[in-house]
Amino acid sequence: MVILEGKNVTKRFAGLLAVSDIDFYLQDGEILGLIGPNGAGKTTLVNVIAGVYRPSEGEVFFKGKQISGKKPYQIGRMGISRTFQVVKPFPGMTVKENAAVGAMYGAGGKNKSAKEAIQRAEEILEFVGLADKMNKGADQLSVASRKRLEMAKALAMNPKLVLFDEVMAGLNFGEIDQAVELIKKIRESGMSILIIEHVMRAIKNVCDRVFVLHHGEKIADGTVEDVLNDETVIKAYLGRRYKELTH
């Protein structure tokens, strides 16, 4: 079943084409990688899906319902949650409170009391491995922990689909491997994932399918194997040295 679908999605800023006439889809339970050079329009696309921007043209559907034009909080409550490339914790709150806010207002949050939400937050923090930092201030975390908190906030919203925008940037190899394990675990718990990433090591390990943006246009869409060997993709994004480095 297709859980997320975009048709002819276009986003212009003051005449500048950031995303140009893109079709995309995501199967239920799938991990889709979104890659491309900086400025290719990846984050813009995530912002369109999440409702931060209304697409200039085209439509986005979630579980068959049109979501383009809805507000971010409405989309969040329908079951799509996202992380921010530059993480956005609530610095004046504790780690636990950060996640609890997600549980309170995400999908099904309406039926949760503040207390139940805090309980749910504790479970999620356990799940992402932040249990020991629960009562710390969110502004006192390391980079890796902050990325995890960002994921925890998204997961606490009880989503069907999560959009991970560069959750591995700035992490070291060990931390990347942990994050990859975490993402696999998230999929196992029944969520679909769209993941933006520059870390090829992660893309190769977790993605079922990859699609590539370049100058706002889709230049490839297929299995990891096919896309990473595609001549256009290598030229536009990966560069010639990529083959030497990874093979």
Partner 1 sequence: MEKKKLQYALIGGFILLIVVLFPLVSNNFIIRFGTDILMFAIMASAWNIIGGYTGYASFGNVVFFGIGGYITAILMEKAGMHFAVAYLAAGFGAALFAVLIGLPVLRLHGHYFAIATLGVAEAMKALVQNLEITEGNSGIYLPMLDLSIKGQYYFFFYMMLGTLILTLLLTYLVLNAKLGYSLIAIREDEDAANSVGINTTLSKTIAFALSGFFTGLAGSIYAYQQAFLKPGPAFSVQTTVKMIVMAVFGGMGKLFGPLIGAFSIEIISETLSNYFLVAHTLFFGTVVILAIVFTPKGLIDMITQRKFGISYFLENIREHRI
User: What CA–CA distance (Å, rounded) separates 202 from 210?
Assistant: 12
Position 114 contacts partner 1 (CB under 8 A): yes
Q: How far is the CB of 231 from partner 1 (least distance, A)?
A: 37
Confirm or reject binding of residue 101 to partner 1 (CB under 8 A): yes
Q: Is 220 exposed, middle or buried (0-12, 13-18, 19+ CB in 10 A)?
A: buried
Decide if residue 62 touches partner 1 (CB under 8 A).
Answer: no
Provide the H-helix boundaries in 106-161: 114-128, 143-156
If one asks whether residue 76 binds partner 1 (CB under 8 A), the answer comes out as yes
Interaction of residue 164 with partner 1, rule CB under 8 A: no
Residue type, 244: E
DSSP 3-state of 161: strand
Q: Which is nearer to partner 1, 20 or 81 (CB)?
A: 81
Burial label for 132, CB within 10 Å (0-12, 13-18, 19+), is exposed
Residue from 105, 175, 201, 221 that binds partner 1 (CB under 8 A)? 105
Q: Are strands 209-214 and 217-222 parallel, antiparallel or unpaired?
A: antiparallel
Q: Binding of partner 1 at residue 88 (CB under 8 A)?
A: yes
Q: Is 73 in the site for partner 1 (CB under 8 A)?
A: yes
Q: How many residues does the chain have?
A: 247
Q: Is 42 in the site for partner 1 (CB under 8 A)?
A: no
Nearest to 104 by CA among 112, 93, 94: 112
107 or 134: whose CB is closer to partner 1? Answer: 107
In the complex, minimum distance from the CB of residue 241 to partner 1, in angstroms, rounded to a whole number = 37
Q: How far apart are CA 180 and CA 190, in angstroms?
A: 16
Q: Could you say whether residue 54 binds partner 1 (CB under 8 A)?
A: no
161/78 Cα distance (integer angstroms): 10
Total residues contacting partner 1 by CB under 8 A comes to: 31
Specify the residue, 60 or 157, whose C-beta has the smaller distance to partner 1: 157
- Interface region with partner 1, contact rule CB under 8 A, candidates 21-29, 72-80, 190-198, 221-229: 72-80
State the residues that interact with partner 1 by CB under 8 A: 50, 52, 71-73, 76-77, 81-82, 84, 88-93, 97, 100-102, 104-107, 109, 113-114, 117, 153-154, 157
